[in-house]
Structure 1
Amino acid sequence: MDDIKQLFGKRIRELRKRHGFTQEVLAELIGIEPRNLLKIENAQTFPRVQTIQNLMEVLDCTPAELFNFEHLNDIELMRLKVIEQLKSDDELVKLVYKIIM
């Protein structure tokens, strides 16, 4: 589920910027607090169904367009997978730290 939240958050940020909305403006248009939109974009939470419907209406997109993650390149997908692995493995974090620092 965390991968989906990250992909979805990235997609919302992309669509928001494409429409020229700030987080505050989009949040107001879809009826949520700006802090909640920030949580969605940062993959801390997943929106309710009503919020998803409001996003589709305001961003003028279909469900297929909203959930289209194919635009992410291989590096972005690898980065998301690595981050997900690092969240659950402290030893791996130490190893990666030694390698890159």
Structure 2
Amino acid sequence: LHDVVEDTDTAIEDILRDFGAIVASAVDALTHRPHEPNTDYLARVKANPVARIVKLADSRNNYGRLGNIGDASTRERLTAKYQRVFDELA
């Protein structure tokens, strides 16, 4: 659910209607806006307790699968990306 606004035509209003204000607020915080600096995105995620927990869990899950990526440069880039998330949110 956390990526639904980025990955589909679902709007925050749909999340609000179907899941309520707490979930909609968290999903909104987790939705990375086009051209948004990562520092701004992570600050918004950090400010929402539910979004923070979801982002940490998602990043931990993704980090745990990095060994499946054969390309070393991609693996290094993603390792650094997830480390920034952990450093900022943990």
TM-score range, shorter chain: 0.3 to 0.5
Q: Looking at secondary structure, tell me which structure has more helix per residue.
A: 2
Q: Which has the higher contact order (CA 8 A, sep 6+)?
A: 1
TM-score, normalisation: structure 1: 0.31
